[in-house]
Structure 1
Amino acid sequence: MRILVTNDDGINAPGLAVMRQIAAETGSDVWVVAPETDQSGLSHSLTMNDPLRLRKIERQVYALRGTPTDCVIMGVREVMPEIPDLILSGVNSGQNISDDVTYSGTIAAAMEGTMLRIPSIALSQAYDWTSGNPIPWDVASTHACGLIQRILDKGIKKGILININFPNCAANAVSGIELTRQGALTHGLFLDKRDDGRRNPYYWLTHRRQSQDVIAGTDLDALQRNFISVTPLKMDLTADEALDYYSYLAD
């Protein structure tokens, strides 16, 4: 099996090393095209006004000065001699769940693979970024390969990508696997205003999540109970349930 590996945390991210290990256990022909630098939060963006610079790191491993979406296109259209059988994106440092999937470059890479009609899976490892504790990469490295194989054995439907999130716990403390819906989070992005040395204002985006009710059956609910969350996402964003509501526009 030919596998293209990418991420949004960059070519030197520890999660990419974990992803390469998982890919090597899944297929025999693994290629890597990952961003030269951290591209987190860039979603499904393309580099349109700058050239894409490709740098070979080692055999079948490349760094690209571009976005995760660029990396998938480069891997499929230029780097790999044949179209991959599978695209694996991650392992992201931090969960990609609920509304946050719309920001995620990890998810976007899997979206691009899905648009290219290639089975694609995004993988993310949850952790508590406020605690200072290390990211429990062993959860993903222990459980990902078997889960991916089960998904591939059944097949991924056209227009669907798979979003997998591993809980923030020890590998042997995982409660199981749950098929989940995409949940919802309170909007947690705010602006931290500061002044530079000349008293000119500048801003940092900051995260300040508010407490909220967690809906059963969602990705967030599964992670909070130490389950691995598996969420099928679709490329068709049409709100089918709203078509009748807006039917008056066609009168």
Structure 2
Amino acid sequence: MLILTLAGCGGRGNTDLLEARLRQQEDSIFALQRDLKDSHQALQSAREQSAAMQRQLAKSANGGLLPEQSKTLFRVTGVKVNSLLTGGVDLDSKPGDELWTTVITPHDVDGETVKLPADLELELVDLNQPEAQRRVGIWKFDSQEVRSHWYSGFAGSGFRFELPWQSTPASEELTLLVRMKSQDGRTFKTTSPLKVARLENSSQIQTVSRDVPVSRKQLTPAEPARISFEEQPAMVTEESENPFQEIDAESTPSPAETESDSPFREIKE
């Protein structure tokens, strides 16, 4: 009898324990469902706010930026200079570079390229010179001009510029200062060294006023002049639409002529 009583007490204890655990799991499930509902509501609210900001941004840009383009704008977190495509450009066999070129690339938080035109300012300075004589030139482009300078190649992609000197550089080592202003008012800056071959005679180039921005109509981004590609004449061969070659009957050997060439010998009974 005592054994049955103890067994009954043990069974009730296990049942109470299981019921307590079930209640805890139900409470956890209800809490998770409540958190999930709140997360869905917060996500929907964030999407609505993002869409409203995109419409407002497109409206403030006076039609220059579409709502779908504003998504790209939010992705931009910085700007960088492609060092492989930045340097002097030699147009002739004489010593010295007559132009300089660079590729500017906006990027996101992961460093990936973002194709977003923006107002751009490029300034070259010579830190080896006195402060009053450090500026070699400054070039300013609006977003429409920058858009037409997009470049994509095996060495990288970005907005490419090939520009003449505004004043003759006195040193071979210059510093490029980049300032990019997006249409939402943010400003991104970066610097990069730029090495050029100094001109022996400043009369070799025709400088332009530093106050006049270079127009896209005057310059077209191109591969550096040091790299030349010679166009080879294309070879054109005419082919018949018939894939089977026509064989002249006169040139076809007769069985008698080919009998001696056959590796099999005919046995006559």
With normalisation by structure 1, the TM-score equals 0.27
> Which of the pair has more CA radius of gyration?
2
Which structure features the higher share of strand residues? 1
